[in-house]
Amino acid sequence: MTDALDRGLVVVHRTNGTSNEGTFVSWRILANEYYDVTYNVYRDGVKLNDKPLSVSNYDDTGGSTTSVYTVSAIVKGVELPQCKPQTSWNCYLYKLIDRNYSGYKDITLQKVYSNADGSDITADYQPNDISMADLDGDGQLEILLKRLNTKDASSLYLENATDYAILEAYKLDGTRMWWIDCGPNMVSLNSTELNIVAYDWDCDGKAEVVLRGADGMKIHFSDGTTKVIGDASVNTRNTFSHTDAQYCWTHTGSEYLLYLNGETGKPYQITDFPLKRLEDGETNLKTAWGDDYGHRSSKYFFGAPFLDGRKASLFLARGIYTREKMIAYDINPQTHEFTTRWTWNCNQPGSEWYGNGYHNFCVADVDMDGRDEIVYGSMVIDDNGKGLSTTGLGHGDSQHVGDFDPYRHGLEFFGCNEDKPGNNYRNATTSEMYYRFETTADDGRALIGKFSDSYHGCQGRSSASNLISSVTDNVLGITADNFLKWSDLNFRIYWDGDLCDEVLNSPGTAKEAKIEKPGYGRLFTSLGCNMNNDSKNNPCFQGDILGDWREEFIVRCGGNLRIYTTTYPTGYRNYTLWHDTQYRQSEVWQMEAYNQTPHTSYFLGKTEGITIAPPPSTLTDRVEIADGASINKDHNDKHLLLAKTDNMNVSVVDGAAPYILTDNSPTWVEGHDDNASITTTTYTHTITGGAFTGEMRLVKQGDGILKLPNVSETYTGNTDVWNGELDFDGNMVSSRVWLNRFASLKTNGGKFGAGIVMDYASKLLPQGDVSARSVTLNFGSRIVMPLSSAKISADTLRINKVDWTDGPKYLAPVIQFTGNSKPNDGAYLVGTFNVLEGNLSDIIIEGISGVTYKLEMSDKNLYLVVGSGQVPTGINNISKDDSQGKFYNIEGMKMPDVKTYKGVYIKNGVKVMKR
């Protein structure tokens, strides 16, 4: 499910007060607009663009601060109604290396009045961390703000204080929807554990809100009524120190789990907090957690992972340093009742799962099975509630999860370590270590991103380490601080319009916001606005809040808020990052504890040629086909979806012509609380019956298998295999087949009239003879074939190699032979190709060992020549033997092995050897 967001139009008229430099306009591309949607831009009712725009930003050379802009989408040639009109945000010009404009919008917060005497105490309050979600279903994101009482904090939370931290829900126009007075019993050092998150768990188009509560908390609903949580008379502030800030933790009293209506603040559920401070029978906090003042017991996390691949669950966790507790709930959308999906606990010192938490966590589908995992610092808990893998490296401060190396399957983890100091870069599924740096003291910061087109993949470092490559797993040959300073290891951000990340940080401690482009310099410094959380220098929030796929950030500006947006044009098209599943999850957990930057689930990079994000997972504007159903002409011109998280069968009535068929056949990768035991189940979606026709596209996603019927498919749209395996033995007459990285095409006798294009680590798996108009083998792509029982025929074979010094393992295509790894001497026919583009010697051969071998072309035939074998040459004295039909006796022909060949059948111009 993706949030039903509106167009998110943003307008910034560039002016320095004396001269005007045009107007920048940007808007969202939504998940359901991935294919065949373009846009028109209007100023004051007049269309500005000559041709429909494929990108989601426009640089208007005219306009003014009062001009009114709208945007319309053109869907399959039909222009839809224009979006809600917008005028210009404020404009800010920053001049250092370049003249860079940005836009900003100020949000004025409501005044705060004392509980004691009603006096205005707004000056005592400072905006802090933010979560965002669409709380009221209007397609716009709202703000959930933590506003801290700095006077209360500076006095170390005195028992007789009357005014406390507050949590508020705001619309972007500054309207306060509802708010919460946190009361006296929610104290944590720097209020890092005072968090509020939102997600649409009940799928009604409006996000619900989840937080931890305590006695004396008071909710002020949107209708003016209030509710006190628990016992208003309880005050636990007499149980902790007021002389040393590090001991200021609430560690006694009741705790509650609040599940609220996001629009009104009214509760659906108020229950005891399920992850108890002390379990039944436990009485000593130090014995239970390792300290007696509440620090270790007061680490809380909340998330909305898709644990079944279909709907969001509610995830809670407690503890990072020693014991860890977790619970996952499924929520009934009608009654809002919780059902426990699973629990996970570890309280066993010495266990490789014990004390592995960080000051943050991440939700991501690390193993690509369509189900989210819980990345909990040095370990990963699987969607099934079992441990997936662990490093045993213990606690750390900063972690990052994403597709940092596009040439490895699945996601990677990069983080720093405190318990076993240094950093680690690893496979996020198996915890296989790719790079490990060790030092002697806490390495407290880490950051990784695609920061430069001068290097392939991502670049990352921790405070004490050198700069490493995510592709080579080695240190890059540059001085780390000359490229990415240790003090800038904070947030990554998309800002300037290329596909590289920039760095969002501050030039001081909780001072202005700045944006640096590694290897280039400063692009932006805010004016009069500051970052949060002391030396952590976090924005209140970073995310793709509005406009195109570049990111906005929110900072505190005095006692109010300011949203900054970029005005750099970009020629790259991408849908809103909010509709990437992993990025959306990051906007739930970002504010918790030590705020961490969001990452997408995919990699983008100009240098790598990966400039288009994969299609988003969404049900919007798609018709889901059930197991056992039939696709017929009633489905013509519709976007169909096969998404069962199991095996399924669907039939096709010959001549059906959907607009797009998307298949999401999955795998299920399961952990078993055993670091060495991970199992994988592969599911198959089988289509039987007739053929598709028309201009349909076929889109294969998910790591499972899609089987097509053995028919002549006449549809003309592309067949894009983004993930998993496509099985097809028929005739693909007019659809080009593209295999993304790690995707596979398995075929026995298949014909591919529009060709096959293969990217890194993709596999062509011929089970017999295969023909295609062309086969394009990009670097690292792989043909896996038996040595003598299959061959490939194509008009053109393209061989593409790269000469990267920092590239992945394979820089050229691979042919991998299966079966006998030490074949007899001879010339083995691999395929027939009329045209060869590229160098045959670039192809890497695997599966053959203990003998000499080479690839050789002869008369348009490609052979693997083993040992003293020779390609067939010198054919003469051909005579017909009518007793064998069209059989010809041939003298002087050298055959590919030591066995005697009686001759060759000539059938439709193809030579068929017969023993």
Q: Give 250-272 pLDDT, tens digit per residue.
A: 999 999 999 999 999 999 999 99
List the domain boundaries for the chain: 10-90, 121-266, 636-853, 870-915
User: What's the pLDDT at 661?
Assistant: 99
User: What's the pLDDT at 78?
Assistant: 97
Q: What is the phi/psi pair of residue 802, to 5°?
A: -120, 155
Question: For 654-662, what is the mean pLDDT?
Answer: 97
Contact (CB, 8 A) for 263 and 183 = no
Contact (CB, 8 A) for 329 and 339 = yes
Closest by CA position to 319, among listed 339, 286, 295: 295
pLDDT digits (tens, 9 = 90+) for 278-305: 999 999 999 999 999 999 999 999 999 9
User: What's the pLDDT at 16?
Assistant: 85
pLDDT digits (tens, 9 = 90+) for 387-445: 999 999 999 999 999 999 999 999 999 999 999 999 999 999 999 999 999 999 999 99
| Per-residue pLDDT at 539 exceeds 60 | yes
pLDDT digits (tens, 9 = 90+) for 53-104: 999 999 999 999 999 999 999 999 999 999 999 999 999 999 888 889 999 9
pLDDT-wise least confident of 332-346, 728-742, 861-875: 861-875
pLDDT band, residue 903 (cuts 50/70/90):
very low
Average pLDDT, the chain: 95
Between CA 824 and CA 857 the distance in angstroms is: 19
Burial 830-868 (b: 16+ CB within 10 A, else e): bbbbeeeebeeebbbeebbeeeebeebeeeebbbbbbee
User: Does the domain at residues 10-90 carry the CATH identifier 2.60.40.10?
Assistant: yes
User: What's the pLDDT at 906?
Assistant: 39
Between CA 274 and CA 255 the distance in angstroms is: 9
Angle at 792 between CA 790 and CA 797, to 5 degrees: 155
Question: For 160-172, what is the mean pLDDT?
Answer: 99
pLDDT band, residue 913 (cuts 50/70/90):
very low
Question: For 608-616, what is the mean pLDDT?
Answer: 98
Residue that the structure tokens 């086909």 belong to:
625
Between CA 817 and CA 865 the distance in angstroms is: 13
- Per-residue DSSP letters for 548-578? SSSPEEEEEETTEEEEEEE----------GG
User: What's the pLDDT at 897?
Assistant: 40
Q: Three-class SS of residue 709?
A: coil
885 conformational bin, left if phi > 0, alpha if psi -120 to 50, beta if neither: left
User: What's the pLDDT at 788?
Assistant: 87
Between CA 735 and CA 674 the distance in angstroms is: 45
Helices (H) and strands (E) in the chain, counts: 4, 72
Between CA 574 and CA 603 the distance in angstroms is: 12
pTM of the model: 0.94
Q: Three-class SS of residue 342?
A: strand
- The radius of gyration computed from the CA coordinates of the chain, to the nearest angstrom, equals 31
Residue 327 in tokens: 């619970």
Question: For 105-133, what is the mean pLDDT?
Answer: 99
10-15, strands of its sheet edge to edge: 10-15, 20-26, 57-60
Q: What is the phi/psi pair of residue 433, to 5°?
A: -85, 120
